[in-house]
Structure 1
Amino acid sequence: MRASDSVDVQAFLDEQPFSAFQWLVFVLCFAIVLFDGFDTAAIGFIAPSLVKEWGVEKSALGPVLSAALFGLAAGALSTGPLSDRFGRKRMLVASVLVFGAACLGSAFAVDLQQLTILRFVTGIGLGAAMPNAVTLMNEYCPQRRRAMLTNLMFCGFPLGGACGGFLAAWMIPQWGWRNVLVAGGAAPLLLVVLLLPLLPESVRYMVANGQPVELIRKVLSRISPSAATARAFVLTEQVHVEAASGTVGLILSRAFRVGSIMLWLAYFMGLVVLYALANWMPILFKDAGLTPQTATLIAALFPLGGVGAVLFGWLMDRFNANRIIAVGYVLTAVTVFAIGHFADNVGLLVPVVFVAGALANTAQSSMPSLAAGFYPTKGRATGVAWMLGIGRFGGIAGSFLVAELVARHFSFSQIFAIVAIPGAIAALALVVKQAASPQESAEKAADRAVVRVH
């Protein structure tokens, strides 16, 4: 490379082998998402213990089960634009610190009101962490493997939820529910110590925001020494002409509006299914006649199946991503409906719960990658964060939906039949997004922008 050469950052990432430095970014982001999933799901697994220890009705758990979801929405909606302005790393470190400290504090709550407040604060940190981890990982990936690697990283979320279930089933009988929250708070706080020195800022963000060329060169040189002699860096991508109106204006501009709304709707409906089942499945299985420990262990299989997102990522890198995920949501609706008909047969219930979880979590875990690929660098964190933030209200709706169905004495099979419907709606939303072809319209209406850093 001549000293006068400039480097196109994405082309550089596409041409180089996936380096040890990029794997470090992957591992750190995976750990963040893993603890995010653990802390998000933990409240559902300790819910039966709360009913027993504090003597409250199951229907009274609605606020505490959904408090973190309100926080998740608030954290995502507020920090997405902040990340696009101040950087991915700052938001990630701050968010992990917040949700770790708040989860640890939740272990010492004395009543539902106190626990609800602490879960809301936990949710703010959780909601801020997820979109920034997805965005940072996406911006370090080569184009040909972007969806697969981002989905693989996002698998930490359902895996964290599954670990929470298994850990709860082991810890609660011996040490009580509070120790589950202690573990969920202490681990992220230890992770912060590693993030501060090891986690890099997004190199695409640095170029797009005109940061010093020395910083960009230092980061890219850790991927390949060939970047060490570059004197300028460029970021070439399609940026819509309305981008100057701000990141929120970008994702709501004419070229992106239909796609954004359909992403929000699909993610919303997917979370109705996930949180309705993740939060209530242990209680519903217990009410159906299973022992508390068996109910918790079977319910823990539901989030474990999310590792299938790696396969979806591979397919998304090669075929139409909207259609791949839409098929996943259709099959989710079918299998969730089937769960309601196997309560009296544990031998069939176990595989059906696992398959339903694999499909639901795989489709949902693929959505952030779909969103990250849909938006340009200037608005990527906002686009992903707003999909996650608005979608979180689906988790809130799912928690309250099942609470209402339980209060109205719907049967086990009826509850699962109703919860299956949002899966079909999510699939339809992605079909509409594909039919509207908003991404193609954006490219036709876009100006090719080249951001240069000298």
Structure 2
Amino acid sequence: MHLDTGVEATLGVASLIGMFFGGLICGPLTDRIGRKPMYTLDLLVLVVASALSVFASEAWQLILLRFIIGAAIAADYPIATALLSEWLPRKRRAGMFSAVIIIWYIGASLAYLVGYLINEFMGSDGWRWMLGSGAILALIVFLLRIGTPESPRWLVGAGRVDEARRVIENSLHVRVTAAELTGSLPRTVESRGNVLDLFRGIYLRRMLFIIIFFTCAIIPLFALLTFGPQLLGSLGMGSGNLTNLGTAIINLVFALGCVPAMKLLETIGRRKTIIWSFGLMVLPLIALGLWTNAPGPFIVGFFCLYALFSGGPSILEWAYPNELFPTRIRAAAVGVAVALTRFGAAVGTFLVPVSLVTLGTSATMFIGAAITFIGFLACIAWAEETRSRSLEETGAIEGVPPTPTTASKVGSAP
């Protein structure tokens, strides 16, 4: 389409801006109407918008469709992660969230590999098939999601105890009574929450922590994912379609970085893992800023080190919001976190191509290092330890012990 730098940058951030609105709206909505209805609706929106991208003829059409796709993706963060966390046993939460994020990075790596192949064999119109491929994948996932049960935790909180009992019996083949599900839990405690609850008391501190560390982790990450080929090209690491291969390799290392983090999160704990991860993530960005004319293997190596060290924050971006808030506002917490952090990521990603042109590669890398260091300080100040604790314990307000129920055991049993 022969786009200028400004339009290209707008295309890069359109989906992130869509994620801002999608997370802000769909997170609280998921707490209000349930996980299951939203779990399939967002995939349908993704299918339609991705399919329409194939036929876009103007830049504004692509920008609009990328915005819609971003909103659908952001909706899936609170829906899918809340549903997953509320079904998982406590000892498997970190491992399963690790598996999800590993698959996410493998998908990101494969996206660049597919992009490389499409560019090689389909020429200048290959980008249409890149964007359209999302419709095929989303349709497959939509079909796989049919029949997914609702969260028993959410059902109990909504007063649908008998339905929660049937879901547990059908899914886990465990018979429970209504009394076991509700226990002595007062209805007011698990009443439907208000999004404003996220910004009161200890939950305000937790939201600030999640927003700061989340933003500081994803600004460099999204810049690399969106403009990886341009970044590698500016550092002298190849040009044209070849840079897609380099970016694919780096994204694969992001997945590998989650493997040791998966073990560390359950051995030394969440707090130590995220602090050390952020501290180490600063170093390769500083090295790239100091040595912009390094040989190609060193440049890829520095990027790979950053990717390797980022495993802990990558997993906890999804795990922490689900662990630190109760069921009544869990999806809202994830949605608001996604929304606010994507706004920062959108601003950062928009400025990456501008910074490369106006400030240069070295200054861009130093800015990334400074942002990461802010995340390091936030983790030292506010990171909490949630290892081996139930969702009732981690989501409770300090000083108010949770009431154990059979419903809580669905996602917290050994």
**Is TM more than 0.5 here?**
yes
**CA 1:250–1:292 in structure 2 vs 1: closer, same or farther (change >3 Å)?**
same
Q: Check if 1:444 corresponds to 2:392.
A: no
Matching residue of 1:346: 296
Q: Deviations over 1:109-150 (max 9, x none)?
A: 112211111100111101101221111111111112212212
Count of aligned pairs between the two proteins: 396
Q: What residue identity is the alignment partner of 1:265?
A: I
Q: Deviations over 1:274-297 (max 9, x none)?
A: 112221221122244312233111
Please show how residues 18-417 of structure 1 align to structure 2 within 5 Å. 54-175=1-122, 176-197=126-147, 199-213=148-162, 215-225=163-173, 227-228=174-175, 230=177, 232-234=179-181, 246-289=193-236, 290-307=238-255, 308-340=257-289, 341=291, 344-360=294-310, 362-408=312-358, 410-417=359-366
Q: Deviations over 1:62-106 (max 9, x none)?
A: 111101001111111111111111111211211111122212212
Q: What residue identity is the alignment partner of 2:266?
A: D
Matching residue of 2:390: none
Q: How far apart, CA to CA, are the structure 1 residues paired with 2:224 and 2:184?
A: 40
The structure with the largest strand share of the pair is 1
**CA 1:131–1:303 in structure 2 vs 1: closer, same or farther (change >3 Å)?**
farther
Q: How far apart, CA to CA, are the structure 2 residues paired with 1:349 and 1:235?
A: 56
Q: What residue identity is the alignment partner of 2:363?
A: Q
TM-superposed deviation, 1:187: 1.4
Q: What residue identity is the alignment partner of 2:361?
A: F
Q: How far apart, CA to CA, are the structure 1 residues paired with 2:113 and 2:210?
A: 32
Q: Deviations over 1:166-185 (max 9, x none)?
A: 11011122121111111112
Q: What residue identity is the alignment partner of 2:40?
A: V
SS at match of 1:416: helix
Q: How far apart, CA to CA, are the structure 1 residues paired with 2:324 and 2:313?
A: 17
Q: What residue identity is the alignment partner of 1:425?
A: I
8 Å Cα contact 1:149/1:310 also seen in 2: no
8 Å Cα contact 1:239/1:376 also seen in 2: no
Please show how residues 8-19 of structure 1 align to structure 2 within 5 Å. none
8 Å Cα contact 1:269/1:426 also seen in 2: yes
Q: What residue identity is the alignment partner of 1:404?
A: V
Q: How far apart, CA to CA, are the structure 2 residues paired with 1:450 and 1:229?
A: 11
SS at match of 1:155: helix
TM-score (norm. length: structure 1): 0.79
Q: What residue identity is the alignment partner of 1:172?
A: N
Matching residue of 2:412: none
8 Å Cα contact 1:278/1:302 also seen in 2: no
TM-score (norm. length: structure 2): 0.86
Which 5+ residue runs of structure 1 have no aligned equivalent?
1-53
Which 5+ residue runs of structure 2 have no aligned equivalent?
387-392, 409-414
SS at match of 2:55: coil
8 Å Cα contact 1:238/1:443 also seen in 2: no
**CA 1:428–1:242 in structure 2 vs 1: closer, same or farther (change >3 Å)?**
farther
SS at match of 2:224: helix
Q: How far apart, CA to CA, are the structure 2 residues paired with 1:441 and 1:204?
A: 15
Q: How far apart, CA to CA, are the structure 2 residues paired with 1:304 and 1:191?
A: 22
Q: How far apart, CA to CA, are the structure 2 residues paired with 1:428 and 1:185?
A: 40
Q: What residue identity is the alignment partner of 2:397?
A: A
Matching residue of 1:425: 374
Q: How far apart, CA to CA, are the structure 2 residues paired with 1:354 and 1:205?
A: 40
Q: How far apart, CA to CA, are the structure 2 residues paired with 1:379 and 1:237?
A: 20
**CA 1:236–1:167 in structure 2 vs 1: closer, same or farther (change >3 Å)?**
farther
8 Å Cα contact 1:76/1:389 also seen in 2: yes
Q: How far apart, CA to CA, are the structure 2 residues paired with 1:239 and 1:64?
A: 49
TM-superposed deviation, 1:305: 2.5
8 Å Cα contact 1:303/1:358 also seen in 2: no
TM-superposed deviation, 1:419: 1.5
Matching residue of 1:10: none
RMSD across aligned positions (CA)? 3.0
8 Å Cα contact 1:276/1:419 also seen in 2: no
Q: How far apart, CA to CA, are the structure 1 residues paired with 2:183 and 2:350?
A: 45
Q: How far apart, CA to CA, are the structure 2 residues paired with 1:185 and 1:447?
A: 43
SS at match of 2:175: helix
TM-superposed deviation, 1:416: 1.4
Q: How far apart, CA to CA, are the structure 2 residues paired with 1:236 and 1:277?
A: 49
Q: How far apart, CA to CA, are the structure 1 residues paired with 2:213 and 2:204?
A: 14
8 Å Cα contact 1:108/1:178 also seen in 2: yes
Q: What residue identity is the alignment partner of 1:444?
A: G
